[in-house]
Structure 1
Amino acid sequence: MTLEEGLKRLERHMWDLWRQHSQHSGSMELTNSELDYLYALLSAPEGLRLTELAALMRVSKASASVMVSKLGARGYLRKTACPADRRATRLYATIRTQHLEVEERDVYASAAASLREALDEEEVRELSRLLEKASRGLK
């Protein structure tokens, strides 16, 4: 099997795991772009201003505002007054969004368990080392 074929098979397995988990959580309702915004908020427990979120996502403030409105209406983020500047608001992930983070951990734990069943301990260590090395240059 080539590297490309192996990556494709792994991607299909991961996608299948996501589908299985999302049937219970409803997270399949989210687009990749929406998930990117939510993960950005999860990475900032102190919250983000709209301007900061737009810069982080590399989009205009207007685009970020539309996405924030959509996600807020669906209960994935909340807005509070910014203590430093009452004219601004801070955006925070809600409990609903934090559940996505738990779901993600569960999906990757399932994938890792599948790999541990197929490999011996030394192969798992070698795979971990190679994945770390290969991912250094990735975004």
Structure 2
Amino acid sequence: MSIEVNLERMERLTAKVWRSYSKEDPLSHLSFNEYDYLKTVQASEEPIRLTDLARELEVSKPSATNMVKRLEKKGLVERLACPEDARAKRVVLTEKARIPLASELEIYSVVADRLKVNLTDGEFTSLNQLLTKALEL
């Protein structure tokens, strides 16, 4: 089977697991773009500058500003003054977004468990190592 087919199958497996948990997920109403912004903010080790957020997502700064305003209205992020540059803003998740995003690890644990069923421990370790290597950006 080709890698393309396997990637599609992986996406479908993940989508099935997401659907089974989506009834409990308070973020399930978000668009893909909104969710992507939240995940990018979550991945940042510290409050992320709006400019850096735009660069990371490969969008214009005005586009990032508009999305952050939308997420701010939904109570999912807040903008903070940047201590290094009074003109800049930093973006952080609110508790309303932080808690559901943190609990998503459960969903990926279920996906990992389903993958593990047909693999030995060594094969599963190798799969993880190969994915880690392939996904280095």
What is the TM-score normalised by the length of structure 2? Answer: 0.82
Q: Which stretch has the larger CA shift, 9-18 or 50-59?
A: 50-59
Contact 1:54 1:60 survives alignment (8 Å): yes
**Match of residue 57 from structure 2:** 57
Match of 1:78 in 2: 78
* Alpha-carbon offset, residue 40 of structure 1: 1.8
The answer for the alignment partner of 2:98 in structure 1 is 98
Structure 2 residue ranges without an equivalent (≥5): none
Aligned residue identity for 2:93: A
Q: Partner of 1:22 in structure 2? A: 22
Task: Quote how far apart the aligned CAs of 1:100 are.
Answer: 3.8
**Cα 1:63/1:2, change in 2 over 3 Å:** closer
Aligned amino acid, residue 131 of structure 1: L
Tell me whether 82-91 or 99-108 shows the greater mean CA deviation. 82-91
Report if aligned partners of 2:26, 2:100 keep a CA contact under 8 Å in 1: no
The corresponding residue for 1:119 is 119
> Aligned AA for 1:96?
K
Aligned to 2:43: 43
Higher helix share: 1
Q: Describe the superposition over 1:3-53 as per-residue Cα deviations: whole angstroms up to 9, x where unpaired.
A: 333322221110111122222013221122112211221122431232232
Measure, in 2, the Cα distance between the counterparts of 1:53 and 1:84: 17
Residue 77 of structure 1: how far off its partner (Å): 0.1
Distance 1:89 1:109, change over 3 A: same
2:130 aligned counterpart, secondary structure: helix
Instruction: Determine if contact 1:78/1:91 at 8 Å carries over to the other structure.
Output: yes
Aligned Cα RMSD in Å? 2.2
Instruction: Give the 3 Å change call, closer, same or farther, for CA 86–13 of structure 1 in structure 2.
Output: same
Q: CA deviation at 1:86?
A: 4.2
Q: Which amino acid aligns with 1:114?
A: R
Q: Which amino acid aligns with 2:113?
A: A
What TM-score results when the alignment is normalised by the length of structure 1? 0.81
